[in-house]
Structures are given as C-alpha cells and as structure tokens.
C-alpha cells in the first residue's frame, strides 16, 4: 500500500461506513408502519494503523437492535395481543423456538393460536396453545375460553437477544415479570420517521463530502506523479 494513497483508503472506508448507515436507516424507515419492528443502529469504531498510529480508519463494529417498546395501537381484534413492558412471545418455527413481540395472531385450521406466518404460539411450558374458539386474555397472559382457563401465554425476557429474521429473535429465555398483556392491541414500530429522515440526509451529505475529498486527493496525487516523472 503506497503511503501517499493512505488518505484515499481512509476516506473510502468512511464512504463504505456511510453507505452501510444509509442501508440501515432506509430499512428502518421502510418498516416505520410494520407492527413490532425494532429499529437498528450501526455501531462504528476507529482503527488505528500501526506503527505510527497517524492513520485512523472508521470501521463497522456491529448492528445494534433497539428493543425499546413502540406505541400501542388499538385494533379491537381479540387475537391481536400486545406486550406492554418487557418480554417476547415464544413461537415454534421450522428452525426451533424463536421469540417475537409481534402479537398479530389468528387461529389455524386446527384451532391453534398462530402468527401471520403460521408459527404456533407457545404457552409458559413451551407447548402450542389450542384455543378452538373465542378467547379472552387477561393482563397476566391467562387465556380463557368460555370462562375456562386453557393456557397461560409464555412471555419471556431474553438474555443476549439476537435478530433471527424479520421480526424473530433468539436468546436465552427466562420468564418475564414486568409486563402486561393488552388484548385487542398491537405494538407498532419504535422507528421515529422524522429522526430517520434526518439521519438519511446527514448520511447522504457525509458520503458526498467523502466522495469529493477522494476525488480531490486523487487529482492532487496524479499531478504529483506527473511532476515526479
């Protein structure tokens, strides 16, 4: 790596970082109206190049998911369930048990409580919930059919939660305590559309500045090389 071109490589790294930030913000904005969607944030750090330490590269560390609760919207659909507070619903997928905040449920042909994708919702013993009729759910997650208690929803806190798809998570589940089930409500996205638009504008401008600087340095270097020849 030619020493004279170090600034270009550093600026190019900055451009890549801005492009990744733009992808994350655009995805957040696209899901602003998606129930229970959790916004992502890009974590970056500075890499100091040895031996002099005079060159600093911006690098992407990871994508962090903000799990803070979104606003609740009343739907009056008795199978729409929202968790007010901490916790996730457990669902059974082809890949095993996964967890979600998206409580847009329905009944399958056999009468089991399922997600929009057809994954069966699990009780606190990790068993599918057979409803089979009109259900009432109290704030603790107890499910009643015609006045009889048939199951208690599993609501779990996750240790080290990680996204495992669009609105699913993995993690080590422990029973949640600080929550309240709201029947007839859906949790909406925690994305703030105005803030995401501001981030997109700022990121686009930063990328443009990096691009212009790369072009300017490249032109200067080309003139230096011409003179040297």
Question: Which pLDDT tens digit goes with each residue over 26-55?
Answer: 999 999 999 999 999 988 777 776 655 566
CB 36 within 8 A of CB 75: no
17-23-27-30 Cα dihedral, nearest 10 degrees: 130
- Name the pLDDT band for 229 (thresholds 50, 70, 90): low
- Name the pLDDT band for 1 (thresholds 50, 70, 90): very low
Mean pLDDT, residues 121-136 taken together:
95
For the chain, give the percent of residues with pLDDT over 90. 65
pLDDT of residue 50: 66
Token output for 227: 């003179």
Point out which residues pair with 55 in neighbouring strands.
Answer: 49
The model's pTM is 0.80
pLDDT of 227 strictly over 70: yes
Average model confidence (pLDDT) across the chain: 89
């Amino acid at each position: 790596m030619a020493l004279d071109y170090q600034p270009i490589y550093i600026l190019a790294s900055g451009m890549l970082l801005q492009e990744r930030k733009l992808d994350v913000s655009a995805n957040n904005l696209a899901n602003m109206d998606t129930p229970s969607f959790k916004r992502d944030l890009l974590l970056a750090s500075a890499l100091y190049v040895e031996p002099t330490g005079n060159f600093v590269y911006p690098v992407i560390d990871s994508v962090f998911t903000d799990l803070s609760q979104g606003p609740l919207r009343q739907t009056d659909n008795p199978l729409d369930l929202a968790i007010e507070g901490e916790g996730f619903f457990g669902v059974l997928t082809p890949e095993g048990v996964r967890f979600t905040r998206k409580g847009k449920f329905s009944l399958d042909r056999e009468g089991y409580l399922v997600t929009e994708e057809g994954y069966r919702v699990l009780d606190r013993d990790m068993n599918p919930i057979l409803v089979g009729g009109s259900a009432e759910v109290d704030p603790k997650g107890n499910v009643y059919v015609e006045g009889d208690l048939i199951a208690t929803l599993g609501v779990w806190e996750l240790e080290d939660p990680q996204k495992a798809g669009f609105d699913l998570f993995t993690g080590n589940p422990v029973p949640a305590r600080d929550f309240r089930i709201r029947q007839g409500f859906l949790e909406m996205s925690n994305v703030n559309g105005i803030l995401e638009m501001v981030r997109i504008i700022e990121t686009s401008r930063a990328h443009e500045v990096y691009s212009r600087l790369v072009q300017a340095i490249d032109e200067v270097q080309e003139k230096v090389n011409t003179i040297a020849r």
